[in-house]
Copies of this chain bind each other. A is one copy, B any other.
Amino acid sequence: MEQETLTHPFDDAVALEPVGDDLWRGHTSAAYGNMVGPFGGVTAAQALSAVLRHPGLLGEPVALTVNFAAALADGPFEVQARPVRTNRSTQHWMLEIRQQGEAVLTGTAFTALRRATWDRIEHEMPAVPRAADVPRAGGPRRVEWVGRYEMRFIDGALPTTWDGQEQGDSRSRLWLRDAPPRAIDFASLTALADVFFPRVWRRRPVLVPIGTVSMTVYFHAGADQLRAAGTGYLLGQAQAQAFRGGYFDQTAQLWTEGGDLLATTHQVVYYKE
């Protein structure tokens, strides 16, 4: 049985202390440690967290782009979230995370008041087994952050043999949620959008060094739909479109078990051959 704690490790990770106008201080979280520095999904969530805490915030996140300019050193950092343009129902943000005065992350966010309109989910959830019927991935972990997520792979799991045998595609499908479970919000959804292991390892099982350089999340759900998703599983699907010249892309979707498309996300990732 997992021990209950008063604070979820994710809440600890995205906690920020205000230190000035548009400026917060945060700290990398050992619970979300990666090979070098922290898991990028949590860094992206920390950047968005500053927007969400800003007293001048208008509306809810619709689009977020973050660029990873350097590996974060374990320790404190400063986040700047600056509203550069506020319209009647929309707001544009510039984001920066700094360590020792140097930018380690840059980004932009777009927030807006959502209104009810005609709506449609066009990219429908594929027919897959229910989360409860798919075994949880376990075993030893290379990196700490992977233990903060429950992952149940339907297909495209992390290779077990790194034999360089090229696969027909790079697609993965898995049920996922925070471990221990935590009600989804914009910050945790941002981190969940970065949970997929690098597509280059999936297409060609060679353990080459990789690193996300830019990531965009489009939020298709408002706070009400996120509340409805609760602590439920999300179906994540991720696939690359091209690998070339040291960079590949990833396009991904995150649906609730009920088939609600909460977010779509894209990233471009460095790889070394």
Contact = CB atoms under 8 A, between A and B. Distances in A.
A122 B63 contact: no
Contact of A62 (B84, B96, B121, B247): B247
A24 interface: no
B122 A170 contact: yes
A265 to B, nearest CB: 9
Interface string A121-143: 11100000000000000000000
A184 to B, nearest CB: 16
Assembly stoichiometry (copies): 2
Interface stretch (A34-42, A110-118, A188-196): A110-118
A216 B270 CA distance: 17
A249 B67 contact: no
A108 B266 CA distance: 15
A266 to B, nearest CB: 5
- Using C-beta atoms within 8 Å of the partner chain, give the interface range for chain A: 35 or more
Given A84-B69, A85-B106, A266-B216, A243 B115 contact: no
Contacts of A273: 117-118
A207 to B, nearest CB: 13
Nearest to A64: B214
Contacts of A213: 62-63, 90, 110, 112
Nearest to A221: B244
Contacts of A251: 251, 264, 266
Nearest to A242: B220
Contact of A245 (B96, B116, B123, B203): B116
A203 B239 contact: no
Q: Which are the 7 A-B pairs with shortest beta-carbon distances?
A: A114-B245, A117-B273, A123-B241, A69-B85, A119-B244, A63-B214, A65-B65
Interface of A: 62-63, 65, 67, 69-70, 84-85, 87, 90, 92-94, 96, 102-104, 106-108, 110, 112, 114-123, 166, 169-170, 203-204, 213-214, 216, 218, 220-222, 239-247, 249, 251, 253, 261, 264, 266, 268, 270-273
